[in-house]
Amino acid sequence: MNKIIIFIGLLAFVLGIGIARYYLAQSSPDLETNTDGYTKVKVSEGNFGGDFTLFQGDKPVSLSDFHGKLVVLYFGFASCPDVCPTTLTIIASALRQLTPEELETVQPVFISIDPERDQGEKLTAYATYFHPGFIGITGTPDEVQKVANQYGGFFIKVESDSALEYLVEHTSKTYIISKDGQYVSILPHDMTRDVALNAIRSGL
């Protein structure tokens, strides 16, 4: 049973990579690899990036609500003990380098890909712990997966012999969406604070 689930998960993963490569290849004329350690991609509605709506508790929150602000987007989950806090700490640390004026034009967004465990207050408390500016949003597993795929992110729930019952395998990239919503800078998991800071500042 376990093996079948892992197999299906792997299959989904491989398919996902294939789909992402296809989409990224399609948008390749607009793909610009920045020497500063990240990649900037033009939004291609229906192919890559673009608007979405998820929920903060019962309240719908759309990416387009933040038009005019630079959005720093990260997908993760609260029971992720290692990878997510590492990246969120780097993002938060970069945000703390900004002046209050700069910070006013930046909206950090944390999307939980584990809505079964992360809901409402708990999600807000988790996200704002790293930086008070964060908002934490989520949706149904399908909705969240759809948004993740839209940005080239993948998540697979894998059954485990751990007391956690299931573990989530996931990508760990940070997406910085330009103020006009037209470009997305994709930052790798192993980005430094300065790479994140440069990517944020260059979009202000």
Partner 1 sequence: MNPFLRAMMPAILLTTTIGLYACDNSTQTAEKGKSPKSAIVSTNAAEFITVSKPRIRATAPGQTVSGAFMTLVNNSETAYALTSVSYHGASVVEIHETSMNEGMMRMRKVSQIDIPANGSAELKPGSYHIMLIGLEKEMKAGTAETLTLTFSDDSQKTVEALVGTLSE
What track of x and - describes contact with partner 1 for positions 142 through 161 (by CB under 8 A)? ------------x---x-xx
The reply to whether 75 sits near partner 1 by the rule CB under 8 A is: no
The reply to whether 1 sits near partner 1 by the rule CB under 8 A is: no
Amino acid at the residue 192: T
Per CB under 8 A, the list member of 5, 12, 167, 204 interacting with partner 1 is: 167
End-to-end, the C-alpha distance of the chain in Å comes to 50
Q: Is the dihedral of CA 25, 30, 33, 39 positive or negative?
A: negative
174 class by beta-carbon count within 10 Å (0-12 exposed, 13-18 middle, 19+ buried)? buried
Separation of alpha carbons 121 and 4, rounded Å: 35
Helix (H, G, I), strand (E, B) or coil at 103: helix
| Shortest Cβ 172–partner 1 spacing (Å) | 5
Per CB under 8 A, the list member of 86, 116, 180, 182 interacting with partner 1 is: 86
**Both tokens assigned to 109:** 């967004």
**Segment 43-72, which members bind partner 1 (CB under 8 A)?**
none
The reply to whether 138 sits near partner 1 by the rule CB under 8 A is: no
User: Which lies closer to partner 1 via its Cβ, residue 25 or residue 125?
Assistant: 125
User: Which lies closer to partner 1 via its Cβ, residue 117 or residue 201?
Assistant: 117
The reply to whether 93 sits near partner 1 by the rule CB under 8 A is: yes
Inter-CA distances, 57 with 52, 106, 143, Å: 16, 22, 14
Residues that bind partner 1 (CB under 8 A): 13, 17, 78-83, 85-86, 89-90, 92-93, 121-122, 125-127, 129-130, 154, 158, 160-164, 167-173, 189, 193
